[in-house]
Chains A and B, each alone.
Chain A
């Protein structure tokens, strides 16, 4: 029975989020640390190298790791303050079970594991294997991601496992795979510096991937032209050569319009297209009607901007495409990305130094997490769960019958729709906070409340964990060991820095303990994450994301290894597609024609304004971690509604007024931030907050038919000046979703 066991204020009082500002030992402590450990930041797909200082088994500070080649010591504010999580008073230190009306009480590990195992057995017996679902995070190590996939398919034998990368990279992944054959950035980031023209589409790099700005600026110093597409003038857009304030959902207008002009003016590489690609004729036919004038109507920008973009990108000596959630979070997210990648392949500028393509991963292990088999449609090594050969390979690695491996299951949002329809009856969730991060929050809450049993593994009691029957205290990145795969495709080593506090356990141990109670115990008899990694290497062998030749020792020696790395003496593959060899069986890139279509919900008379959402640099994903770090909360304490002065005037709103944003699904009331740096037909709200301050009260559950990513970046709202809100949550602290 997954309902709140007591009131939100009482839960917050005990479990937070509270802000924690002071490091272990206090600010004035000048003690010499016991040791300094080289590891990586736990946030975002950049996975910067960092050194953590340890004293008495606690992380007490950091020192930049200037030799790590990706970031050379650079860090964003989240990286600087990440160490404050370890000794946080909100940390979960014992297993908990819900007590109706009171909240949670401490329980012991055996009771928590036995109760969960019993619930799994009962639900699966009564409603079938697929009625119990597993939901995971994309911030897990590769080892944990692999283990979760095995846990679902071998121990629970459920098809229904998916992960929160479904909110992040899946559109980029699907598009890249369709055209280029691999789901991975084509180039290492060092190639960005050498490019002469860079197109940044829907990527607020300054807030979401700050380290990447230095790569852009280095290219600019060396003479590169930079084009940015975004409805908001972001900090990188301010100083680039061409900023195109595209309307949200209009990107295909820009891409197809640019290609139209490039074909007309002869700025495509017909030799490359003939030798190394298929399907260009249909793309050429498709973009014929995308004249700059027609494209400008779709994109909502002057035609001259599209022509100018083509003039910069078309004849460039070398070029680099970067994109992220701005074009991916759409019901046509895959098509948006494909239209963008078409531009890269049409010029033949890929697979060489300074020329290529990369999608910017948002989550810590967004890249690796989708390779190891915790997606509902994939087995490890990027294998297709419906492909008989791929299934056979995994059956051999796992020592099970091929027929026992479940088929394709439901994606993250579909899982909640199934829970709402009472088809999913129980769920185990690890490091995912849907009660902030999923769209249409009222529906998601109803879906969770309909679960008969809900267990959560996390290190803080997230907004979602409040609904759990059993809460298992898990581990922070620095309390475990394993690998992640950065946005570049570089597999890196997170070292264990300290032990989990109290009775908290490493997540992989919790999963193995649970698996031993519900499935074949011998298949989860791992004694270390390194053992799991060694099985993962075998599992991925021969797959697209081949990790077989990667060992932890090689990672340490080389400061990371890029996949594919098929043999032990192979150095890894930083740059894909060299020599025009693509990853499809025919070795060619497969162009994909793309027609523009409207969003699931376009503005209309009733809801005339486009709402778009995104991030701020101080917070990470649902804020479950960063809304507890005092310095980061101070930097951006609460969400706000960005609007242009012209819109503000129309709505009679002045700076600091409260505005109510209302969609067909729900509403939120926030303070207005009036800025000229946003399109006058859009409003923007950052999404890291819960409850009444959640922009996801308003966003829509519509998903891309291929990637199943939700359309976070566009829905129709009305906005009106409002009195100060009087809801129950106003008095909470800002980090908890209040307005003080």
Chain B
């Protein structure tokens, strides 16, 4: 398991939701999908983004859990809350910088991706990365990724002043070394600067120099 890592390449995502459907089929949480497929802003673009647990080196969800229900394995996998301990307070939901844990009211428990621990701990790939048809989700070695992909795999994020390192990598343009999440823009609220997709996704704009 140590040689293999999880990589997300948003440029490859086709929004098909095979990952979401397959996650539901995992033996440890059958019927419950723990990966989300985010539609960025369908009006402007077809860009979609799978969001799984990033498995932070120092998981803030676990740190803020008052019931000590969220455990990290020696391999660095942050697991879903332990059923007997979880008190459904949703602290983890609010604390996670990636917005991953979900409080499931019908079972009064926080659930999230556990890196398909039942599969990865015995040498199999996580279900979502196995089926992902475009391989936007890939479980492989860093060497293989560097050999076959143009992007750079990084696992360092900056949220304001906070630097977070994750077990899961994302592929970014080669010049990028760290993802800076623009909290300033977000803090400014709806009247402040707002990140919009570039105009290239507007088909009408592409047709504008038509004779």
Contacts and interface: CB of A to CB of B under 8 A. Distances in A.
B14 A74 contact: no
A293 B211 contact: yes
B2 interface: no
B209 A674 contact: no
Nearest to A244: B206
Most A C-beta atoms less than 10 A away, residue of B20, B44, B131, B207: B131
A304 interface: yes
A300 B210 contact: yes
Interface stretch (A179-187, A234-242, A570-578, A729-737): A234-242
Given A27-B31, A676-B202, A74 B17 contact: no
Given A62-B25, A77-B21, A235-B14, A206 B134 contact: yes
A64 interface: yes
A214 B133 contact: yes
A62 B24 CA distance: 12
B63 interface: no
A510 to B, nearest CB: 32
Interface residues of B, number: 44
Contacts, number: 151
A535 B150 CA distance: 50
A73 interface: yes
Interface stretch (B45-53, B153-161, B176-184): B45-53
Interface in B195-211: 201-204, 206-207, 209-211
A73 B135 CA distance: 11
B132 A74 contact: yes
A301 B204 contact: no
A66 B134 CA distance: 15
Contact of A80 (B12, B14, B131): B131
Contact of A645 (B22, B43, B149): B43
Q: Interface SS of chain B: helix, strand, loop or mixed? A: loop
A238 B47 contact: yes
B131 A218 contact: no
A635 interface: yes
A300 B42 contact: no
Contact of A217 (B12, B22, B43, B210): B12
Interface in A194-210: 206-207, 210
Contacts of A29: 30
Which size class do A's interface residues fall under?
A: 35 or more
Contact of A303 (B30, B150, B211): B211
Contacts of B27: 30
A536 interface: no
B11 interface: yes
Interface string A495-537: 0000000000000000000000000000000000000000000
Nearest to B29: A27
A646 interface: yes
A604 interface: no
A645 B203 CA distance: 10
B14 A210 contact: yes
A235 B42 CA distance: 11
A238 B30 contact: no
A608 interface: no
B204 A75 contact: no
Interface of A: 22-23, 27-30, 61-62, 64, 66, 71, 73-77, 79-81, 206-207, 210-211, 213-214, 217-218, 220-221, 231-239, 243, 245, 293, 296-297, 300-304, 617-618, 631-632, 635, 644-646, 655, 673-680
Given A245-B207, A679-B207, 12 more contacts: A30-B27, A77-B21, A210-B16, A214-B133, A221-B149, A235-B13, A236-B14, A617-B15, A631-B21, A644-B204, A645-B43, A676-B204
